[in-house]
Structures are given as structure tokens and as C-alpha cells.
Amino acid sequence: MEEIIFGLDIGTTKVCALVGEVRGNQLQIIGMGVQPARGMRKGMVIDVAEASVAIAKAVEEAEQTSGYDLSQALVSMAGEHISSLNNRGVVGIGRDGEGVNASDIGRALDAAQAIPIPHNRQIVHLIPRSYTVDDQNNVRSPLGMHGFRLEVEAHIVTGASPALRNLSHCTQNVGIRSEAFILNALASAEAVLEPTEREMGVVIADIGGGTTDIALYKDGNVWHTCVIPLGGYHITNDVAIGLRAPYDVAEMVKIRYGDCRPDQIDPAIMFTVEPFGGEKIQVSRQDLAHVIEARVEEVFNLVLQEIERSGYDGLLPAGIVLTGGTAQLRGIADIAERVLNVPARVATPKNLVGLVDELRSPAFATSVGLLRWGMNGPQVYQPRPSVQVDWGRRVGEILKALLPG
């Protein structure tokens, strides 16, 4: 029997609504809607009305292509309000002779999340990193093991409650309940990482428009997560300032002519751009590459700082895996290798079935990863039959409710 998962990736530059159908162990993409983001900055809502309209249009497309009326979603989460820490929980094991059971694990996790957090923050993820049964360390699954003491080391991700409520408010305005928030980097990891990479030690960096979301994996589990408030927007902004051109012109120039390796570009290669004032000028591709290279190096230097801060600044045999729209910049993997001194690759979602042509891009790693996350957790739900929705009227109602009269 098929099950349906709905993922809503609300980013700084785009909103992507994906509908997946699960049959056994296979995920098939059956619905998709993509719209330019509105009302978002650095992964956070700055205009509820604008963001709600963009989400409504993406959801409409996804419902029309999938044939389902969607009511709840796994929602991506980013922004510099995200923070993380590691904590331990210890409990005694029941003496019924059956060893560790699910209740014991649950009590250990409850103990691990008993941490003091401000009233305006909430725990979003509680991820077991490893278990210890008595003196036996690095236990991956303690179920059924015998002992007297169970300890869990957990990775805890927290977010600002107001920021998450704003995101929920936007989805509720279009009739979608936020079933769970998933950190962008963790979702992207589900879509692009190989099991061997997680085991050996790897960093995933999802470089979006407004943020760079990173997660470090070691021994198969999450070791550290962080959101860096720099992304593709900041590169485009530097290009716009350098060219004295509108932002949309700078974005086009970055995509069409941009490169991170000025030393590999012939300084004689030029392109034409129309800055403010309307008089066209000639610009060297090498000069453009110097601007891009400086900002990309800054991003990876911040990633390096986070790796060192995590306490795992030793070897990362599997290196760094790059996703997100900005990972499509030419030569970005070369800069990552140079700054971090580890192997680097640009990754796209793997093992796709269904409506997948547009999804074969680093820009959709988080979107696909939300569905992969849903396959492995309790977030799968049964859909209702599709109903006809007057989306023009729904968007009008959103604006009427949120905008001043």
C-alpha cells in the first residue's frame, strides 16, 4: 500500500513543494511545485504575507501535479537562530532479564534532553550519536543488550520559537500544518551522502541563497551542525556593488560568467554588462572571478572554523560534499579543497524516480532530502482524495487577512 510524504522547502531564493509516493523501499516523486521565494531573508521569514503567497503558489502546483489535497508537511529550517550542542543521558536498565528495551532508550533520551534552554527557544532535533552499556562504548543499537547502566550521547538542535512560529504561520495560512521542522543540512544529507562517507567522516555544506548549512558526520552519526549566515546572495551582492549594476543583472552575470578560479581564466576574455545608467561596459571574466573567489573563500574559512570548533578537526577521509544552488558555481569544489585541505565534490540527489528531470541539481538536495527523511521516520501519513481549490480566492483571502485594509 502506497504512502504519501509531502516536503516543503522554504528557502531564501525559492520555495519547492515536493510530493513523494512510497512503495516498499522506493520513493517516487509524483508532484512538484517551485516558486521564487518572497518575504524571506537568510532563511527566516521577514514578511508573512509575501511568504504565504509564494508558499500557496508552490503548494498549488504540487497538488495539481500529484492529484492530492495536501494538509501537512515536513518543512525545511535554516537561519542563524539555529544552534546545537551535545549532551549525555544516563539511566538504569530494567532487571527483567530481557536487556535494554525501547523504554530504556526513551528514558535515556529524555535524560539527555533535560537541558536548560531559554524560554524563547525549543528543541527541534534530538539525535542519538552513540550509546554506552556499562563499560562497552560506541554501541550503535543497544536493544537487547544486557547490563545495568545505559548512557546515550545525543546531538541536540534548537531554534528560536518565534522564528519557527512565523514559519508555521505561513504554512497554516495556506492550509498546511507543519508536521516537523528539518534542518536543511540534515535533509540534504539524506539525499546525497553515501553510508560509507558518514562512517569515515564527512562534512556536508548546503550553500543556499542566504545561508550555508553544515553538518559533520562521524561513525555514521551526526557530530556537529551549524548555520552560517552567508550564501549565494552575498556573492551576488558583491558582484552588484563591483559592477554598479542591479541585483538581477549581477545574478545573471554570476550564473552565466562566474567562476571561482581566476588563475585559470584568460584575462582577455570579456563580457558586456549594462550597469545603472544604461551605458553598456566591458568587464573581464577574470576580474569577476576574483570577486567571487574572495567571497567563496570567506564561506569556506567559516566552515573550517566550525569544523575546528566541533572538536573534530582531524582527518575527514570523505572530505566535504557540497549541495545547494550556490554549489553550481564553476570551480567551487577547488576552493573547498584548497581552504579545507580535504577532498571535495558537488553532489546532486541520487536514486530519483518519477518527476525528476529538474531535481537533478544540487539546488534541490534539501527538497528531496525532506522526503527521504520522511521515509525513515514516523512522518508518513495517508492522503485525502484531491479536491478542487480556488487558489485565486485562497491567495486573495491570505492577502486580505494579513495586509492592512
| pLDDT the model gives residue 270 | 95
Return the half-sphere exposure (C-beta side, CA atoms, 13 A cut-off) of residue 111: 15
DSSP of 33-66? EEEE--SEETTEES-HHHHHHHHHHHHHHHHHHH
Angle, CA of 185, 178 and 28, to the nearest 5° = 65
* All structural domains of the chain with their residue ranges: 83-159, 194-346
pTM for the model: 0.89
- State yes or no: pLDDT of 388 exceeds 50: no
| pLDDT the model gives residue 382 | 37
| pLDDT the model gives residue 397 | 60
Asked if domains 83-159 and 194-346 share a fold, the reply is no
Q: What topology is assigned to 83-159 in CATH?
A: Dna Ligase; domain 1 (3.30.1490)
- State yes or no: pLDDT of 132 exceeds 70: yes
- State yes or no: pLDDT of 377 exceeds 70: no
| pLDDT the model gives residue 400 | 60
The cell numbers describing 357, all together, are 528531470
> Alpha carbon 72 to chain centroid distance?
19
- State yes or no: pLDDT of 383 exceeds 80: no
| pLDDT the model gives residue 94 | 72
- State yes or no: pLDDT of 381 exceeds 50: no
Q: In the CATH scheme, what is the homologous superfamily, with its name and number, of domain 194-346?
A: ATPase, nucleotide binding domain (3.30.420.40)
- State yes or no: pLDDT of 32 exceeds 80: yes
What percentage of the chain has pLDDT greater than the value 70? Answer: 91
| pLDDT the model gives residue 370 | 96
- State yes or no: pLDDT of 199 exceeds 60: yes
| pLDDT the model gives residue 279 | 84
Q: Say whether 248 sits in a helix, a strand or coil.
A: helix
- State yes or no: pLDDT of 313 exceeds 70: no
Conformation bin of residue 20: beta by default, left when phi > 0, alpha when psi is -120 to 50: beta
Quote the mean pLDDT of the chain: 89
Query: 307, 216 in Cβ contact below 8 A?
Result: yes
| pLDDT the model gives residue 376 | 80
Check residue 383 and report its DSSP letter: P
> Alpha carbon 352 to chain centroid distance?
18
When computed from its CA atoms, the radius of gyration of the chain, rounded to whole angstroms, is: 23
- Compute the average pLDDT of residues 121-150: 91
Long-range contacts made by residues 97-104, C-beta under 8 angstroms, separation at least 24?
Answer: 98/144, 99/143, 99/144, 99/145, 99/146, 99/147, 100/133, 100/142, 100/143, 100/144, 100/145, 100/146, 100/147, 100/150, 101/143, 102/143, 104/142, 104/150
- Rounded distance between C-alpha atoms, residue 186 and residue 184, angstroms: 6
Instruction: Name every residue whose Cβ is closer than 8 Å to that of residue 93 and which is 6 or more positions away in sequence.
Output: 99, 100, 104, 133, 146, 147, 148, 149, 150
pLDDT level of residue 260 (50, 70, 90 thresholds): very high
Instruction: Name every residue whose Cβ is closer than 8 Å to that of residue 96 and which is 6 or more positions away in sequence.
Output: none
- Compute the average pLDDT of residues 181-205: 95
- State yes or no: pLDDT of 130 exceeds 50: yes
Instruction: Name every residue whose Cβ is closer than 8 Å to that of residue 92 and which is 6 or more positions away in sequence.
Output: 148, 149, 150
- Compute the average pLDDT of residues 277-285: 88
- Rounded distance between C-alpha atoms, residue 333 and residue 316, angstroms: 15
Instruction: Name every residue whose Cβ is closer than 8 Å to that of residue 229 and which is 6 or more positions away in sequence.
Output: 42, 79, 80, 210, 211
List, for residues 6-21, the tens digit of each pLDDT value: 999 999 999 999 999 9
| pLDDT the model gives residue 384 | 43
Instruction: Name every residue whose Cβ is closer than 8 Å to that of residue 392 and which is 6 or more positions away in sequence.
Output: none
- State yes or no: pLDDT of 153 exceeds 90: yes
- Which position has the higher pLDDT, 394 or 210? 210
